[in-house]
Every structure is written in C-alpha cells, then in structure tokens.
Amino acid sequence: MKRLKVLHLFFWLVIIGLVLTEAKAETPFAKKIYKVLIIDGQNNHRNMADGTVMMKKFLEETGLFTADVITTPKKGENMDSFKPDFSGYDVVLSNYNGDAWPEATNTAFEKFVKNGGGLVIVHAADNAFPKWLAYNKMIGLGGWEGRNEKSGPYLYFDEAKGKMVKDTAKGVGGSHGHQHEFVVTTRDVKHPIMKGLPTAWLHQKDELYDRLRGPAENVNVLATAYSPVEQKGSGRIEPMLMTLQYGKGRIFHTTLGHENYSQKCVGFITTLQRGTEWVASGKVTQAVPADFPTVTKGSARP
Ligand SMILES: [Zn+2]
C-alpha cells in the first residue's frame, strides 16, 4: 500500500515536470515582440492595399513584430475620425500619401516620435505633407506636391568628393525616370541595417526617386543608386535608404517600393525588416537571408 502511494506520487511529479517543460518551451526568454502600426488609406499608388498586406507579412514572418493596420478616410472625406493611439506602438510605418491629418493627430504623432517612437517611411509616404515642417524634418527628404528649393537642399552623392553634398540651387523637389532594375550601393557598411549585406545588389524593377528635397537634418544615407540619364533620370547618385533622428525617435526611410514587383525584391524586404527592427530597438538581430540579391543577380520572392 505504501509502495503504491510512492508510485502514485512519482507519477504526478512526472506529469507536473512535463507540463512545466512544455510551458517553458512555449515562452522563450523575454523575447520582445515589437508592435507596429501601418497607416494607409490614401496614396497615389494603386498597389497601396497590396503593399500594406505584403509589408505586414514581411514584418510578422520575422517573429519580431506584430502589425496592426489603420486606414484613413478616403481622399476629400472628413478626417476628424482619424485619431490613432500611437502610444500603444513601438513603430509607425507610413504607407500613406494623402490629405492632411487633423492638427491633434499631427501633434500626437510628433510627440510619439520625439519621445522615442520608431518611424518607417516607405516610397510615396515621402511625398506626403509638404507643409508640415516636423514631418519633413522626420523624413529628411521628400518629393512632389510643390516641393522645390524652398523645401530644402537636394542631397546627392558626389563621387569625386566621396560624400553626400547639399545642392541649394533652384530646382524641382522630386522626380523619377522610367522604371528599371538598378544597383543599390551601400554607403555606410557599419550601420546595423547594412552590416553583413552585399555592398552592392541588383534591385527589382522600381522607380528610382531623384532630386528629393527637404530639411535634410540628421540624415545618414545608408545606400544610394545611380539615376541614368538614358532612363530619363538625373544623371546623379541618389539616396535610396536613409536613417534619421528626431528627438529620441529613430527613423528609417526607404525610397524603394513603387509596385508589387518592386516590393517582392529580397533587397526591399530585408532592408524593411532590418530597418523596422533598428527603429524599434537600435539593434538588428536578423541574419542575412540566403536568397539576398547579388550585384549581377536579382532576387524576388513569390
Ligand atoms: Zn511610385
């Protein structure tokens, strides 16, 4: 009888042990999952909704992020209802290019970034809000919507000087030539977002933004691309990926990502994933994927 009791106790100890082991396996040590808010709703790009779905997937498949989507009212509609609670998020990703937000929303957004919130700006999001000074300081450079030399200098890479230069001469802010495949070249190999990536890689067909203008304060250009005159480009080496600081907030700005086929580039996906982790934490823990493009061989995911 006593022996049976001991066996019984032993049985339950084994069961409890198994349950505890299982629970431990399901909760890996304090792995932080960053919360991302993707904003869309208006954009001059017809792939806006697809882009949101794709970018949400790219971020969540890393296991580092969960992403919510908030969609603004349509163009011309009353914007008063657009009041996201930014404070619940680590990062805001803007896929938005449209009407001005309510003043209170702008103020809350400025406060979010200034206090250390991360911001990711994708392609046409840098066309938005030409009159909102704080936003232009956050994105560094923007295009179209009446931007010109009054918006700030045109920043490009001067090969002879080996550095970025600011051109304050009169001219348009923002243009692009024909879409084509082009090589993206790293200019800051030590930055966590770029570290370990090939220093030059072939990007899928995309718009190559040129002549972007803005306050260009605290901007660190991570990568550039040559905009060929034959493709109706600027003939200059243009910033493609950049980081900025606004108050305590980190910003990653990618000019890439015009169409679905552009966003399927493993170079676009990887820099978006790494850029989002960097704005959230100041670090990048993600490995370089095996299918990353090389300088001669592009790479896209289905
Ligand atoms: Zn575009």
- Going from the Cα of 292 to the center of ligand 1, the distance in angstroms, rounded, reads 23
Cα 206 to averaged position of ligand 1 atoms, centre (Å): 8
Nearest Cα to Cα of residue 253 among 196, 193, 298: 193
Distance 83 CA to ligand 1 centre (A): 27
Is 8 contained in some domain? no
Q: Smallest Cα–Cα separation from 70: which of 58, 86, 54, 59?
A: 86
Residue 27 domain-assigned?
no
Going from the Cα of 124 to the center of ligand 1, the distance in angstroms, rounded, reads 6
Residue 257, domain member (yes or no): yes
β-strand pairing of 65-71 with 180-186: unpaired
- With 70 as the cut, is the pLDDT of residue 229 above it? yes
Tell me, yes or no, whether 24 lies in a domain: no
Report how far ligand 1's centroid is from the alpha carbon of 278 (Å): 25
- 207 C-alpha to center of ligand 1: Å? 6
Query: Do the Cβ atoms of 256 and 262 come closer than 8 Å?
Result: yes
Alpha helices in 146-265 (DSSP H): 260-263
In this predicted model, what pLDDT tens digit does every residue of 118-147 receive, in sequence order?
999 999 999 999 999 999 999 999 999 999
Distance 45 CA to ligand 1 centre (A): 6
270 close to 245: Cβ distance less than 8 angstroms: no
CA-to-CA dists, residue 83 to 100, 107, 111, 118, angstroms = 12, 11, 14, 18
Residue 127 domain-assigned (yes or no):
yes
Mean pLDDT of 265-287: 98
What CATH number does the domain containing 237 carry? 3.40.50.880
Question: Structurally, how many domains does the chain consist of?
Answer: 1
- Distance (angstroms) between ligand 1 centre and the Cα of 128 equals 13
How far is the centre of ligand 1, averaged over its atoms, from the C-alpha of 239 (Å)?
Answer: 15
Query: Would you state the pLDDT for residue 101?
Result: 98
With a CB cutoff of 8 Å and minimum separation 6, the contacts of 255 are: 123, 126, 209, 212, 238, 239, 240, 241
- From the list 83, 142, 93, the residue with the least C-alpha distance to 113 is 93
Rounded to the nearest 5 degrees, what angle is found at the Cα of 102, between the Cα atoms of 97 and 108? 95
- Asked if residue 16 belongs to a domain, the reply is no
Residue 155 lies in a domain: yes
Average pLDDT rounded to a whole number, residues 157-175: 97
Identify the domain containing residue 84 by its residue range.
35-281
- Does residue 291 sit within a domain? no
pLDDT of residue 248: 98
| Stretch 238-242: mean pLDDT | 98
| 262 class by beta-carbon count within 10 Å (0-12 exposed, 13-18 middle, 19+ buried) | buried
- Per-residue pLDDT of 193-226, as tens digits, reads 999 999 999 999 999 999 999 999 999 999 999 9
- Cβ(97)–Cβ(69) below 8 Å: no
Q: Which two tokens stand for residue 280?
A: 């959230």
Ligand 1 center from residue 187 Cα (angstroms): 23
